[in-house]
Homo-oligomer: A and B are copies of this chain.
Amino acid sequence: MLTFETQVRVRYSETDQMGYVYYGNYAAYYEVARVEMLRSLGTSYKEMEAGRIMMPVLDLTCKYVKPAKYDDLLTIKVSIRNMPSLRMKFDYELFNEKKELINIGATTLVFIDMDKNKPCFPPQDFLNRLAPHFEESR
């Protein structure tokens, strides 16, 4: 399992009149977490698209445990439990500054060859960067 943590500060634009982060905005927080995880591996999602592979989202689940509020500094813990194949699943846990779990989420993304517009396997370099984190579980 590969785990990575990053932080986001809640913006005013992300709140709604309930004074909470709007429930649709967690998807962007999840995106920040998975993008920064890829960067921590020495690659990036931007490079992936430059290599003509894009990763649209197939499914999303969010469980809202406690509200995130304006100006909160949230910690997002993102995990990959399995080496990706045609698909890649990310799990998320969000914590507020009191270290309370406030949100649990998951997304499945698919690798798409942008030229053929078809699912494809991830680039070998990408798999090589992930592999060392999964060796112990073999």
A residues lining the B interface (CB < 8 Å): 9, 11-13, 15-20, 22-28, 31-32, 35, 44-46, 49, 54, 56-64, 67, 70-71, 107
Contact = CB atoms under 8 A, between A and B. Distances in A.
B18 A56 contact: yes
A45 B71 CA distance: 9
A24 B23 CA distance: 9
Contacts of A32: 9, 11
A71 B56 contact: no
Q: What copy number does this chain have within its complex?
A: 4
Contacts of A64: 56-60
A57 B28 CA distance: 17
B56 A63 contact: no
A11 B76 CA distance: 15
Contacts of A56: 18, 20, 23, 64, 67
B58 A70 contact: no
